[in-house]
């Protein structure tokens, strides 16, 4: 039995992971569940799965979880705070860790799993964007196995030679092509983007995802973050990673080789496919996904992205070329700007404007350690809040945010 920890179990990827695990009770054993603050959903998961551990980063939510369980799960030890997530990420009785906590909040536990030498199923792209060199070094030095969960990177991994290793340029590869659906606004007139609502931005045409990643998909920042991630995962330069809009979301990415061959991975847009692939790799197991019918699909379209419409993509490409702390600032500004958009404090087009201002003003330099990453992340968030709220209002907004947390 393979012991599994699911970090971010209350999110969409976490829930899909539990669905795959449920199909294979003879193969996998759920050791621990971890989340940020959703005590109600985590309580239901604990009662369903009866894991040995459950952790919530929010300490108040952890106390609520204990109350909700009311002694019904005596076998489950409830942990609180960031230290709780770090503890379950490194549990000796678990061999595999699904890292699916959204945003910068997922970095510490992802690093902990890598340093514990786990099979790391990486769905938290921000960990690589922010601290890619640190994470990849931890994977190499601690004997961890890194398997990508994002459908695009998992597709690339499936199309690479079996000898490919994380962070090392695979032989014979000319470039990779990351496919993007184009999101809900791919055909909307540019002038109309300033008035789109958070609800419209979160209504993805193909995928069921959380609110933050749905907005990133609508701005194409998600694809920009994935470009940075692809360079680190596969040892590529930014010039070797192209973006192509593919509205059907059937071809999840492609790898082009020097001999002119191009390999693609195709499946329905369902995260259970890459999750099942990574859980069982190098074997294959059932994911519960409907099989692809190419005749019914009928057509597959591809076209270049509109950089005027998707300014965030260009900003991410620039950060990828700059390297160092630039991706940290990019990610921090994006998280703050997306949150402000979801709260209706910022319009859709202003997301890119905030990010551009922060990246141009933030500190430059290389990543010497985790402290450098955290300092740049804090600076990027502060600059973004100042841009959105003004200096004084930004301080008040941060105080309120801290009180809510």
Place of tokens 């459908």: 151
The pLDDT value recorded for residue 125 is 87
pLDDT confidence of 393, banded at 50, 70, 90? low
pLDDT confidence of 133, banded at 50, 70, 90? very high
Q: Which of 376, 378, 319 is nearest to 352 (CA)?
A: 319
| Higher-pLDDT residue of 186, 207 | 186
Class level of CATH domain 2-148: alpha beta
Least confident of 129-138, 163-172, 237-246, 283-292: 163-172
Least confident of 77-86, 163-172, 313-322: 163-172
pLDDT at 342 over 60: yes
The pLDDT value recorded for residue 126 is 86
Structural domain spans, the chain: 2-148, 157-271+279-297, 323-404
According to CATH, the topology of domain 323-404 is Rna Polymerase Sigma Factor; Chain: A (1.10.1740)
The pLDDT value recorded for residue 405 is 46
Residue 374 · residue 130 · CB < 8 Å: no
Q: What is the tens place of the pLDDT at every residue in 136-191?
A: 999 999 999 999 999 999 999 999 998 888 889 999 999 999 999 998 998 899 88
Q: Dihedral (C-alpha) 316, 307, 189, 355: value to the nearest 10 degrees?
A: 30
pLDDT at 42 over 70: yes
pLDDT at 301 over 90: yes
Question: What count of residues does the chain have?
Answer: 405
Name the percent of the chain lying above pLDDT 90.
86
Domains 2-148 and 323-404 share a fold: no
pLDDT confidence of 208, banded at 50, 70, 90? confident
pLDDT at 80 over 50: yes
pLDDT confidence of 54, banded at 50, 70, 90? very high
Q: By 3-state DSSP, what share of the chain in percent is helix, strand and coil, each rounded to 5?
A: 50, 15, 35
Give φ, ψ of 246 to 5 degrees.
Answer: -135, 95
pLDDT at 397 over 80: no
For 373, the token pair is 């990453």
Q: What is the tens place of the pLDDT at every residue in 12-23?
A: 999 999 999 999
For 281: left if phi > 0, alpha if psi spans -120 to 50, otherwise beta; the answer is beta
pLDDT at 404 over 50: no
Q: Which of 174, 241, 186, 210 is nearest to 342 (CA)?
A: 210
């Amino acid at each position: 039995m393979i012991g599994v920890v699911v970090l971010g179990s209350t999110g969409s990827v976490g829930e899909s992971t539990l669905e795959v695990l449920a199909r294979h009770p003879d193969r996998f054993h759920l050791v621990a569940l971890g989340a940020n603050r959703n005590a109600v959903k985590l309580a239901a998961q604990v009662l369903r799965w009866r894991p040995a551990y459950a952790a919530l980063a929010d300490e108040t939510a952890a106390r609520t979880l204990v109350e909700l369980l009311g002694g019904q799960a005596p076998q489950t030890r409830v942990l609180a705070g960031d230290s709780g997530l770090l503890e379950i990420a490194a549990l000796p009785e678990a061999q595999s860790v699904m890292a699916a906590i959204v945003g910068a909040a997922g970095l510490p536990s992802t690093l902990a799993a890598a340093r514990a030498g786990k099979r790391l199923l990486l769905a938290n792209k921000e960990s690589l964007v922010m601290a890619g060199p640190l994470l990849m070094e931890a994977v190499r030095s601690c004997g961890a196995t890194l398997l990508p969960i994002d459908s695009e990177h998992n597709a690339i991994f499936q199309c690479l030679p079996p000898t490919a290793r994380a962070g090392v340029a695979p032989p014979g590869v000319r470039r990779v092509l990351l496919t993007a659906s184009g999101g809900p606004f791919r055909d909307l007139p540019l002038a109309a983007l300033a008035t789109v609502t958070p609800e419209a931005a979160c209504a993805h045409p193909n995928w069921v995802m959380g609110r933050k990643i749905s907005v990133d998909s609508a701005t194409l920042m998600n694809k920009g973050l994935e470009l940075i991630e692809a360079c680190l995962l596969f040892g590529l330069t930014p010039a070797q990673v192209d973006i192509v809009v593919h509205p059907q979301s059937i071809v999840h990415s492609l790898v082009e080789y020097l001999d002119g061959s191009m390999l693609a991975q195709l499946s329905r847009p369902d995260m259970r496919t890459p999750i099942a692939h990574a859980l069982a790799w190098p074997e294959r197991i059932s994911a519960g996904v409907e099989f692809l019918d190419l005749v019914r699909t009928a057509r597959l379209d591809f076209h270049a992205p509109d950089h005027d419409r998707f300014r965030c993509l260009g900003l991410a490409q620039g950060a990828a070329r700059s390297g160092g702390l630039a991706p940290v600032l990019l990610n921090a500004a994006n998280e703050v700007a997306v949150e402000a958009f979801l709260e209706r404090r910022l319009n859709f087009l202003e997301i890119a404007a905030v990010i551009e201002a922060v990246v141009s003003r933030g500190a430059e330099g290389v990543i010497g350690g985790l402290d450098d990453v955290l300092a740049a992340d804090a600076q990027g968030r502060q600059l973004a809040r100042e841009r959105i709220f003004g200096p004084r209002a930004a301080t008040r907004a941060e105080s309120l945010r801290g009180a809510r947390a």
